[in-house]
Amino acid sequence: MKRTVAIVGGGPAGLMAAEAAASRGSDVHVFDSMPSVGRKFLMAGKSGLNLTHAEPFSDFLDRFGGFRPHVQPALEAFGPTGVRDWAAGLGIEIFVGSSGRVFPTDFKAAPLLRAWLRRLRGDGVQFHVRHRWMGWDESGRPSFETPAGRVSFAADALILALGGGSWPNLGSTGAWVSLLAGKGVPIAPLQPANCGFDVAWSEYFCARFAGHPVKPVTLASEAGSYRGEFVISETGIEGSGVYLHSAVLRDGIAADGSAVLTVDLLPDWALPKLVQALYAPRGSRSMAEHLRRTVNVTGVKAGLLRECLPPEGFADPTALARGLKALPIRLIAPRPIVEAISSAGGVRWNAVDERLMLRAVPGAFVAGEMLDWEVTTGGYLLTACLALGRQAGLGAVGWLDQLP
């Protein structure tokens, strides 16, 4: 007998769950609160759709830190190589960039999404948009608010792929937290991940440099030391270089009230060479001119140095060189979760079995960002969402196959 699987959430995890369930012969229905599916996926592709990463698989897994044991089974079944083969199967040509990131050749998300939806529809998947999940009705069926009023849907299995709490205007509102908590599902609080941070900039610095990129630099924290770049914002800092450190910085602020991100403004200069250059006679030149002539520090880098290095740090060339190589930026708060690229927290791993079925709600499965894990950008987030969606889809079908 053909079983019906209802999937709530039309993002990458939900669509991959639909693909997996449909491939095993299930009658699959995807529900989404927005007028169309894949909106956050399309937004991610506006700056170039980073599908996955081509680094060695063990290094890929290490990016997930303490969450590695939880996501590893899904990624071993459908990891970076699987994502690349899957995209090729949709007719999408891809390439590996110099950093190891994997992109479609046209960098766009829309052609991939169109091809994916076309294949899903061809496999019999049905889509129901403008359906906001409201929990379960008195009969235990998933219930939805629609333009025509409240409706329920009879399904043999339910897969929830509702995302975290970032970008609520694209559908990831986190409203599911209270619904699952009401069923006794343990949930870690949602927090911003891959986010910017607030810094107490002076009025002058903010007015002069907000919007300016700072590159090349090396940024260091307890998470490690990575070369990259970031951007000065009106409230603090943001950008890919910052996101690599966001988890430890966010947790440090929660524990201590603030955290420090250390920036090497001149990553191509060795400290002894820098000290020697700064000991050059300054004469009547201003410090700004001296920095420009000796080590080519100007603009936003010079402004950051003035903003973050104490006055005594300019008195001695050795101290100044050390400041250029390890400038401390004190962060006072992460930006709100609604601005974050992704979110941490969610359904705790002890709340689900190996199929990602909720122990408290048999027949209901969760996938993607709803689960308690986080990882930096760079293709890792999308790959894991796809892998976890596939795991939930196959898990639901496997569970249904065991029913009488």
pLDDT tens digits, 252-284:
999 999 999 999 999 999 999 999 999 999 888
pLDDT of residue 340: 95
pLDDT of residue 231: 98
Question: How much of the chain exceeds pLDDT 90, in percent?
Answer: 94
Q: Are 278 and 322 in contact (CB under 8 A)?
A: no
pLDDT at residue 45 greater than cutoff 80: no
pLDDT tens digits, 353-367:
999 999 999 999 999
Q: Is 105 exposed, middle or buried (0-12, 13-18, 19+ CB in 10 A)?
A: exposed
**Given pLDDT bands bounded at 50, 70 and 90, which one contains residue 43?**
confident
Q: Taking the CB of residue 187, how many other CB atoms lie within 10 A of it?
A: 18
Residues near 72 by Cβ (< 8 Å), separated by ≥ 6? 61, 64
**Given pLDDT bands bounded at 50, 70 and 90, which one contains residue 66?**
very high
pLDDT of residue 167: 85
pLDDT of residue 282: 87
pLDDT tens digits, 309-339:
999 999 899 999 999 999 999 999 999 999 9
pLDDT of residue 110: 95
Whole-number average pLDDT of the chain: 96
Structure tokens at 16: 């991959």
pLDDT of residue 125: 98
pLDDT of residue 47: 79
pLDDT tens digits, 83-97:
999 999 999 999 999
pLDDT at residue 49 greater than cutoff 80: yes
Bridge partners for 330 per DSSP: 260
pLDDT at residue 38 greater than cutoff 80: yes
Q: Residue range 16-22: average pLDDT?
A: 98
pLDDT of residue 11: 96
Q: How far apart are CA 236 and CA 245, in angstroms?
A: 15
pLDDT of residue 276: 96
Q: How far apart are CA 24 and CA 123, in angstroms?
A: 10
pLDDT at residue 293 greater than cutoff 90: yes
Q: Are 249 and 334 in contact (CB under 8 A)?
A: yes
- Three-state secondary structure along the chain? CCCEEEEECCCHHHHHHHHHHHHCCCEEEEECCCCCCCHHHHHHHHHCCCCEECCCHHHHHHCCHHHHHHHHHHHHHCCHHHHHHHHHHCCCCEEECCCCEEEECCCCCHHHHHHHHHHHHHCCCEEECCCEEEEECCCCCEEEEECCEEEECCCCEEEECCCCCCCHHHCCCCCHHHHHHCCCCCEEEEEEECCCEECCCCHHHHHHHCCCEEEEEEEEECCEEEEEEEEECCCEEECHHHHCCHHHHHHHHHHHCCEEEEEECCCCCCHHHHHHHHCCCCCCCCHHHHHHHHHCCCHHHHHHHHHHCCHHHHCCHHHHHHHHHCEEEEECEECCHHHCCEEEEEECHHHECCCCEECCCCCEEECHHHECCCCCCCCHHHHHHHHHHHHHHHHHHHHHHCCC
**pTM, 2 dp:** 0.94
Residues near 403 by Cβ (< 8 Å), separated by ≥ 6? 156
Nearest to 368 by CA among 1, 2, 13: 13
Single-letter residue type at 387: A
